């Protein structure tokens, strides 16, 4: 069994839920490990040593026989960082535990879904309680109405929402609605933005497509993508010109208002405002894909944070509280064009699933109850940014840190990243080394240069300091 290239270290939660180092494997064998119930029969103790097979390797070998590439979503494969993935067995607050019982301070947060961190007790209890009364009916339930009410009240562009099960479904449905509402077929997206694996949107896409170098997937007919125009994110003048010349052909312009799938890239001053003005002038719809940014960069999303209101909004991740749930919405006039009130067909067996709705509602309730939750996320983010910058400088490494609120990316080898072409010049080999170094320090990062680190409300100031110390140690080459 092959050993991974990082040294094993074990961490243990103290009562406050934050992780602390308890030593190396030998040391960890002598300490109490987790007090929570073992999941899936995995051992709860740090037990790895040179003579003990690495459980993730064993699971991965099994997985590869029955699941393509051993994973159910490609970026999980760690292909971009040259390793096999760790299998995770559980998480609590800001910490995850791998199949061998080793704990890590987590900055992946299920790709941004976990604004409260892992297994917040109230959410877990609410989901457990709900499960006892039935998990799906294929009929309306009261919780859906309440979640929809929260979304509509919070997000400026929403008068009505429809709940779906994934971000991909949300963007796919929003596009269909935009095409139906405008009677136009073409759409515009931005290089490096990812909107799920919708055929028409897998063009110069970010996230896994960028990470794995497959920006245009086989199996997507050219006739479908022929209707997809692309432009450079943050190119205020170029896109203005394009929209003035060709905007009349476009059903919609879809954008991540803060790009998160080429690494984090904030909108340049005036970029979102220009998109709003020019789409209105051209009679095309502006779609904000807030699957990441919704309830992440502000309670009112990026549209609230930047004061630009789109026609349609896609939400996902945070609103599902860790269960599969997403949504799209806009004005009543637009949304009532959907079946059954209108002719635009859109449906889903598990849409508005009671368990997912319960997780989402409880999560949003907890966020709303926390005084200044978004100020706290911002200040943790600002400190992380500062420490990562200092670590780069102290290690004599070139790079930059992009951040909006609690989402940030450390890019290696580039001074600024404002768009896809600048992002694609980043030094992915340095990132891969950094990733493995951080793992050895007990810090779990997204396994690609082109993704965001996510900070949750479960992270403490001490966790952020630990991120900084680990980065400093790794970048200093210790």
Token pair listed for 272: 């979102």
Helix (H, G, I), strand (E, B) or coil at 19: strand
The one segment of 163-171, 278-286, 395-403, 430-438 that binds ligand PMP by CB under 6 A: 163-171
Q: Helix count (H) and strand count (E) of the chain?
A: 17, 16
The one segment of 37-45, 121-129, 289-297, 383-391 that binds ligand PMP by CB under 6 A: 289-297
Quick one: which of 120, 260, 321, 329 contacts ligand PMP (CB under 6 A)? 260
Task: For residue 288, state whether it binds ligand PMP (rule: CB under 6 A).
Answer: no
The one segment of 95-103, 192-200, 339-347, 453-461 that binds ligand PMP by CB under 6 A: 192-200
Cβ distance to ligand PMP smaller for residue 170 or 392: 170
Task: For residue 313, state whether it binds ligand PMP (rule: CB under 6 A).
Answer: no
Verify whether residue 397 is a known catalytic residue.
no
Helix (H) or strand (E) holding 403: strand 399-404
Task: For residue 126, state whether it binds ligand PMP (rule: CB under 6 A).
Answer: no
CA dihedral 215, 291, 90, 451 (to 10 degrees): 40
Task: For residue 263, state whether it binds ligand PMP (rule: CB under 6 A).
Answer: no
Interface characters, 397-426, with ligand PMP (x: CB under 6 A) = ------------------------------
Verify whether residue 378 is a known catalytic residue.
no
Please identify the residue of the shown chain whose CB is closest to the bound ligand PMP: 167
Cβ distance to ligand PMP smaller for residue 155 or 475: 155
Helices (H), 294-441: 301-306, 332-335, 354-369, 373-394, 420-423, 428-440
Task: For residue 320, state whether it binds ligand PMP (rule: CB under 6 A).
Answer: no
Q: What angle do CA 124, 444, 128 make, to 5 degrees?
A: 10
The one segment of 101-109, 246-254, 287-295, 394-402 that binds ligand PMP by CB under 6 A: 287-295
CB of 206 to ligand PMP, least distance (A): 8
Q: How far apart are CA 357 and CA 280, in angstroms?
A: 34
Verify whether residue 306 is a known catalytic residue.
no
Residue burial 304-314, b: 16+ Cβ < 10 Å; e: rest: bbbebbbbbbb
Q: How far apart are CA 342 and CA 329, in angstroms?
A: 15
CB of 264 to ligand PMP, least distance (A): 11
Q: E strands along 63-120, which residues?
A: 88-92, 95-98, 103-106
Task: For residue 204, state whether it binds ligand PMP (rule: CB under 6 A).
Answer: no
Task: For residue 261, state whether it binds ligand PMP (rule: CB under 6 A).
Answer: yes
Footprint of ligand PMP on residues 74-113 (CB under 6 A)?
A: 111
CB of 473 to ligand PMP, least distance (A): 30
Residue 472 contacts residue 391 (beta carbons within 8 Å): yes
Write down the catalytic residue from 106, 289, 311, 463.
289
Helix (H) or strand (E) holding 328: strand 326-330
Residue 353 contacts residue 165 (beta carbons within 8 Å): yes
The one segment of 5-13, 100-108, 255-263, 425-433 that binds ligand PMP by CB under 6 A: 255-263
CB of 256 to ligand PMP, least distance (A): 5
Cβ distance to ligand PMP smaller for residue 18 or 171: 171
Q: Is the dihedral of CA 319, 321, 322, 323 positive or negative?
A: negative
Write down the catalytic residue from 79, 189, 317, 397.
317
Residue 468 contacts residue 410 (beta carbons within 8 Å): no
DSSP conformation letters of 139-198: S--HHHHHHHHHHHHHSTT-SEEEEESSHHHHHHHHHHHHHHHHT--EEEEETT----S-
> Residue holding tokens 């493995």?
436
Residue 291 contacts residue 314 (beta carbons within 8 Å): yes
The one segment of 15-23, 60-68, 284-292, 379-387 that binds ligand PMP by CB under 6 A: 284-292
Quick one: which of 291, 410, 458, 470 contacts ligand PMP (CB under 6 A)? 291
Quick one: which of 89, 157, 166, 303 contacts ligand PMP (CB under 6 A)? 166
Quick one: which of 194, 412, 444, 454 contacts ligand PMP (CB under 6 A)? 194
CB of 205 to ligand PMP, least distance (A): 10
Helix (H, G, I), strand (E, B) or coil at 239: helix
Footprint of ligand PMP on residues 322-361 (CB under 6 A)?
A: 326
Q: Annotated active-site positions, please?
A: 194, 289, 317
Residues lying near ligand PMP in the complex (CB under 6 A) are found at 111, 166-168, 171, 194-196, 207, 256, 260-261, 289, 291-292, 316, 326
């Amino acid at each position: 069994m092959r050993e991974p290239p990082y040294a094993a270290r074990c961490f243990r939660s103290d009562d406050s839920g934050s992780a602390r180092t308890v030593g190396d494997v030998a040391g960890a064998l002598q300490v109490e490990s987790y007090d929570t119930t073992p999941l899936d029969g995995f051992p709860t103790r740090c037990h790895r040593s040179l003579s003990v097979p690495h459980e993730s390797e064993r699971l991965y070998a099994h997985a590869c026989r029955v699941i393509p590439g051993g994973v159910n979503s490609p970026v999980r494969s760690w292909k971009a960082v040259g390793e096999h993935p760790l299998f995770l067995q559980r998480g609590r607050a800001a910490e995850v535990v791998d199949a061998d019982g080793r704990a890590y301070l987590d900055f992946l947060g299920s790709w941004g879904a976990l604004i409260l961190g892992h297994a917040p007790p109230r959410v877990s209890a609410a989901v457990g309680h709900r499960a006892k009364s039935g998990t799906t009916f294929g009929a309306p339930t009261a919780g859906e109405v309440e979640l929809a009410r929260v979304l509509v009240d919070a997000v400026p562009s929403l008068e009505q929402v429809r709940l779906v099960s994934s971000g991909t479904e949300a963007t796919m449905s929003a596009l269909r609605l935009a095409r139906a509402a405008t009677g136009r077929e073409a759409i515009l997206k931005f290089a490096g933005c990812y909107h799920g694996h919708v055929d028409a949107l897998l063009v110069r896409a970010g996230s896994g497509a960028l990470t794995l170098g497959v920006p245009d997937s086989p199996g997507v007919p050219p006739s479908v993508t022929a209707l997809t125009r692309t432009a450079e994110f943050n190119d205020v003048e170029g896109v203005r010109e394009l929209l003035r010349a060709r905007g009349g052909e476009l059903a919609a312009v879809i954008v991540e208002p803060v790009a998160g799938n080429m690494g984090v890239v904030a909108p340049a001053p005036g970029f979102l405002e220009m998109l709003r003005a020019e789409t209105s002038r051209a009679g095309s719809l502006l779609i904000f894909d807030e699957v990441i940014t919704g309830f992440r960069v502000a309670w009112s999303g990026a549209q609230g944070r930047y004061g630009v209101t789109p026609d349609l909004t896609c939400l996902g991740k945070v609103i599902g509280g860790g269960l599969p749930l997403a949504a799209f919405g806009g004005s009543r006039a637009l949304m009532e064009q959907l079946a059954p009130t209108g002719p635009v067909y859109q449906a889903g067996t598990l849409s508005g699933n009671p368990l997912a709705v319960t997780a989402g509602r409880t999560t949003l309730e907890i966020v709303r109850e926390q005084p200044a939750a978004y100020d706290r996320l911002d200040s943790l983010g600002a400190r992380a940014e500062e420490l990562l910058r200092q670590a780069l400088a102290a290690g004599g490494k070139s790079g930059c840190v992009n951040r909006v609120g609690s989402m940030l990316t450390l890019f290696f080898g580039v001074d600024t990243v404002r768009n896809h072409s600048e992002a694609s010049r980043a030094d992915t080999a340095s990132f891969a080394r950094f990733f493995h170094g951080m793992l050895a320090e007990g810090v779990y990062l997204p396994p690609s240069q082109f993704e965001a680190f996510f900070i949750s409300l479960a992270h403490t100031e001490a966790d952020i300091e630990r991120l900084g110390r680990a980065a400093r140690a790794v970048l200093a080459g210790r």
